[in-house]
Amino acid sequence: MEFHPYNRKKELTPAPCFKAICVGRNYLKHIHELQNRVPKNPVFFLKPATALTSTPRTFPPYQMEYEGEITFLIENRQMVGVAYGVDLTLRDLQTHLKEKGLPWERAKAFKGSLLLSQFIPISPEIIPTLQLKTYIDGELRQKGGVEEMIFSPIQLLEEAEKFFGLEDGDILMTGTPAGVGEVKPGTHLRGEIWSGERLLITGEWRFEEEGKGE
């Protein structure tokens, strides 16, 4: 499949005060690996703009895990760009909060919990072909695509607009496939977004210790 980004005059970037609309439990194998129930409706949560970082750091004493995701940039209530995104999760804290029946934003929406590659423009017909790959220290850990999602990007977009409202520069994350795991200081993460056999975009990060470089 030949990929031709449509022409744009401005760079694709999130708005300064964007919100990241995220969804959990959207891939069956990931649901099973975390022993969760299959949802009847999208499981949404939000990340604030302060979650975005380009220099990921661990968050001791908690166990941090990566979740690679196909991520869309919103404009005029449409998906106009795609990036590789990472939802960083404090898994042990999340488990503790869930066991107590408490909200788990502290484990998902903390400062520095969101990584994004650059966005590239896309046209609607390419969305069903998108796939992601996540490599940890050179080893392929995650592989999944739109065709495996329980709720399609279009369904997520419509539900997100209904409940939250969408503004230009917001981003929509679409859930993670199986293969999540822990990151530690020195871990190298590389993410890729594909359309069929064509590599569209990559993102790379190395995790630092808390406080390093501050």
Q: What is the pTM of this model?
A: 0.91
Mean pLDDT, consecutive 10-residue stretches, the chain (214 aa), reads: 40 89 89 78 96 96 98 97 98 96 96 97 97 99 96 98 97 96 98 98 95 52
Fold of 23-53+61-206: Fumarylacetoacetate hydrolase; domain 2 (3.90.850)
Identify which of 49, 37, 31, 8 has the alpha carbon closest to the alpha carbon of residue 171.
49
Give residue 5's pLDDT.
Answer: 38
Contacts of 75 by beta carbon, 8 Å cutoff, 6+ apart: 81, 168, 169
Q: What is the dihedral of CA 33, 98, 54, 196, to 10 degrees?
A: 30
Nearest Cα neighbor of 191 from 124, 91, 115 is 115
> 108 by DSSP, 3-state: which?
helix
